Amino acid sequence: MRLLIAYDGSKSAEAAIDDLAVSGLPPSGYAKVLSVAEVWLPPANAIEDTAEVSSAYIESLIREHREKGERVLASASILAKHAETRVKAALPGWEVSSDATFGSPAWEVLEAAEAFKADLIIVGAQGHSVVSSFLLGSTSQTVLTEAKCSVRVARGKNELDPGLGRIIIGFDGSKGASAAVAAVAARKWMHGTEVKLLSVTEPSTPVSIDRFVTPIRKAIGGVETIDDKWLAELGDIALAKLRNARIDARLQIVAGNPKDVLVHEAQVWGADAIFVGANALGSRLARLLLGSTASAVAARANCSVEVVRSPQPFQQEGSVEGR
């Protein structure tokens, strides 16, 4: 497994590293920490290239700007090294490295993830520019929306709770939901971890990306519907996969709005994380489009949220080189 961890030194980023301990990660793998200095550095030869046509004043401005940017980049490198040390302690069997770069944080993280061929990107829910606890930071939101791989919006606790783990999987029978089940089944959870497969049936008719879609709506209240039977049948298949991985799992079917129910159930149950599929439209759009349910849950949950995308083959043509 290959893991890219975005780190900016904020409390949210520190908590994301704490969250590694309860993420069910395998005993070995490759992790890379990336810190991004949000500056622009003029090319090293910018002064020489413009010396004949620019004044000494402009040259001094370019030099001053570059020196300031280099100091910010050096600070980012120190942050990355600090985080690397913490990640090594959290994942002792892993090969861990760190890097610092400059530019737009979200796009640098995305480029680094592609170059590193990351299976999972970990970001904190908020960076330094916190607007509201109910909104994702702009960097996290962009990474969540545009990434080609799965993304974990981590809301780990700075003081880890030693209690048993509890995981919710948003399940609607779609390919995205199946990918979320497979991701949970592939992890190495502590003994006694409970998994709740949560299916939410909506009374409304419209269908949109990653809505929890049911094929036939309720016609008669107060009785078991075809919706419930259909979800139960698909749920049994998913439960078998989880139980084959020796995970204690059960299915719960609830009526309501998935965006509200998933967040509420996670809070009431004390879940450590929610796993949801990126969308329900299949692989062609899964890389680029984020479903409304996945986006809303990632923004509003009070626990970590992992948005799962099915593995995509990395493009050989026009691939991004590492810095």
How large is the average pLDDT for residues 120-131? Answer: 71
Torsion of CA 116, 122, 125, 128, to 10 degrees: -50
Q: What is the largest CA-CA distance in the chain?
A: 84
- Higher-pLDDT residue of 279, 74: 74
DSSP codes, 185-225: HHS-PPTT-EEEEEEEE-S-----TT----SS---STTS--
Rounded distance between C-alpha atoms, residue 47 and residue 299, angstroms: 44
pLDDT per residue as tens digits for the range 37-90: 886 665 655 555 544 555 676 666 666 666 676 787 888 999 999 999 999 999
- Residue 5's Cβ-count burial label (10 Å; 0-12, 13-18, 19+) is buried
31-35, 94-98, 203-207, range with the lowest pLDDT: 203-207
pLDDT per residue as tens digits for the range 190-243: 888 999 999 988 764 444 434 444 443 444 344 445 577 888 899 999 999 999
Rounded distance between C-alpha atoms, residue 106 and residue 109, angstroms: 5
9-30 CB burial, b ≥16 within 10 A, e <16: bbebbbbbbbbbebbbbeeebb
> For the chain, what percent of residues have pLDDT higher than 90?
49
pLDDT per residue as tens digits for the range 54-63: 567 666 666 6
Helix (H) / strand (E) containing 159: none
Task: Give the amino acid at 194.
Answer: E
Q: Name the band, by pLDDT with cuts 50, 70 and 90, for residue 115.
A: very high
Q: Is residue 288 scored above 90 in pLDDT?
A: no
Look over the chain and give the mean of its residue pLDDT values, rounded to a whole number.
79
Structural domains of the chain ordered from first start: 2-154 (3.40.50.620), 166-308 (3.40.50.620)
Beta bridge pairs of residue 51 = none
How large is the average pLDDT for residues 10-32? Answer: 93
Rounded distance between C-alpha atoms, residue 28 and residue 222, angstroms: 50
Reading phi first (left if > 0) and then psi (alpha if -120 to 50, else beta), residue 297 is in: alpha
Q: Name the band, by pLDDT with cuts 50, 70 and 90, for residue 109.
A: very high
Q: Please check whether residue 100 is in contact with residue 36, taking contact to mean a CB–CB distance below 8 angstroms.
A: yes
Q: Please check whether residue 153 is in contact with residue 273, taking contact to mean a CB–CB distance below 8 angstroms.
A: no
| Pick from 181, 175, 186, 167: nearest CA to 119 | 186
Alpha-helical (H) ranges within the chain are: 11-18, 46-50, 56-90, 105-116, 138-146, 175-186, 226-244, 258-269, 283-286, 292-300
